Amino acid sequence: MDGKEVTLAGFAHETRDLGGIAFLVLRDRKGLAQVTLVKKLLGKEVFKMARTISRESVVLVRGNVKAEPKAPRGYEILPSEIRVINAAQVPLPLDPTEKVECELDTRLDARFMDIRRPSVLAAFEIESSVLKSLRDYFYQKGVTEVFTPKIVAAATEGGTDLFPISYFEKEAFLNQSPQLYKQMLMGAGMDRVFEIGPIFRAEEHDTRRHLNEAISIDLEVSFADDKAVMELLEEAVVGAYRYVSENCRYQLEVLGLNLAVPKLPFRRITYTEALDLASEKVGVKMQWGDDLDTETERFLGESIGEHYFLTDWPSSIKPYYTLPYEDRPDVCRGFDLMHPRMELASGAQRVHGYDQLVGRIKEKGLDPDGFEFYLKAFRYGMPPHAGWGLGLSRLVMTMLNLENIRDAVLFPRDRRRLVP
């Protein structure tokens, strides 16, 4: 576009005043543009106004493009018109140029300004691309997108980690997971469904990888076992990495990342093998039925060094809807997808027989009467089925090597933060 007239609008990223010449750097979500201000070309009044524009003001510039090797991206704009559409107050709550670092709480308190920082914005544009890749993959596989209720009458897994809400004259809860509803849809003959939506967990975590509101990517497939849906999960994850590496080069450049696409298939490790490996690493003999804590997961991740599946879990650890092996009822067809840093997804082949499901609910110390709306779908022909739930923010956090899951959520909700 060298020599052509253009009109640009964006934020005043910074200004540099060198006397008779000044530079205004304009920024939008696609990058920076240098506007070169020459006093004798603009006139005294316009030049004075332009060089004192406050940072982050919204500015419109009309002018001619000129090739300039020293300018960002090799071009500058010689303006014929400069207009401040909306001036920013000073001082700013934080520095969007990223030259001055600030604490996470400060950033989150002024999240609208924090997202103007190129590296923060880049992460969310990549997150959008991840979602596009996943949706494209599901539609290619003939999966139907659905939306299930987020206001429910009963806990998905019967636990106490629920947010109660007032629902007219009744008590209701924010849903922990679409699990029960997507299983009911298998009984409805929908065969393959996916949902991307919020889930809520009233757990009092205060860590870098837990939040109380998250976006979950859920899949459920009829006439499939745990191995079949594990293949779909690893293909979806690798496809997202590949899509980002091919279509988000500018954003990856901003983040300083050279994204490596994981190789298929992911390694499969049984729970028993993980116990042996962890006992060796941690130095403490772990017992069958012990859950794997954060330290154990970290040791496993360091040892394996890539995405992997943990399979064949004890039935006592996994939820009631997880199908045990017929010949080994203490072992179930549950699995977790692990990144070396943390768990990304959890899934299983489900119990599809009514009597067995009622028995499993009772084994967990729960009352089947509280699940009647769900159990009803299992009385009239429920096909075998399997599925999983994948955490979007954890996927993005590990993909981009972010330090805190809050950097992968626009407006995070944790035990201390309810605004903005």
Given the residues 107, 360, 394, 406, the one annotated as active site: 394
394 noted as active-site residue: yes
Beta strand pairing call for 5-17 and 21-28: antiparallel
201 noted as active-site residue: yes
Given the residues 216, 346, 360, 385, the one annotated as active site: 346
Q: Cα–Cα–Cα angle for 305, 217, 258, nearest 5°?
A: 40
Distance between CA atoms of 57 and 142, rounded to whole angstroms? 47
Given the residues 107, 192, 201, 385, the one annotated as active site: 201
Given the residues 62, 83, 210, 413, the one annotated as active site: 210
Distance between CA atoms of 87 and 84, rounded to whole angstroms? 6
> CA distances (Å), 377 to each of 150, 165, 380, 383, in order?
19, 26, 6, 11
In terms of Cβ atoms closer than 10 Å to its own Cβ (0-12, 13-18, 19+), residue 332 is buried
16 noted as active-site residue: no
Q: List Cβ neighbours of 166 (8 Å cut-off, separation of 6 or more).
A: 172
346 noted as active-site residue: yes
Q: Are 126 and 251 in contact (CB under 8 A)?
A: yes
Given the residues 14, 125, 157, 203, the one annotated as active site: 203
328 noted as active-site residue: no
Where in 290-358 does DSSP place strands (E)?
308-311, 334-339, 342-349
Q: Which residue has the tokens 């659905």?
A: 146
The sign of the torsion formed by the CA atoms of 278, 279, 283, 288 equals: positive
DSSP state of 357: H
Closest CA to 174 of 208, 205, 198: 198
Q: Are 319 and 337 in contact (CB under 8 A)?
A: no
209 noted as active-site residue: yes
Given the residues 14, 68, 98, 343, the one annotated as active site: 343
Distance between CA atoms of 261 and 74, rounded to whole angstroms? 31
DSSP state of 240: H
343 noted as active-site residue: yes
Q: Which helix (H) or strand (E) holds 324?
A: none
Given the residues 62, 209, 341, 417, the one annotated as active site: 209
For the chain, how big is the Rg over CA atoms in Å? Answer: 27
Structure tokens of 70? Answer: 């020293």
Distance between CA atoms of 19 and 158, rounded to whole angstroms? 70
Q: Which residues are catalytic?
A: 201, 203, 209-210, 343, 346, 394
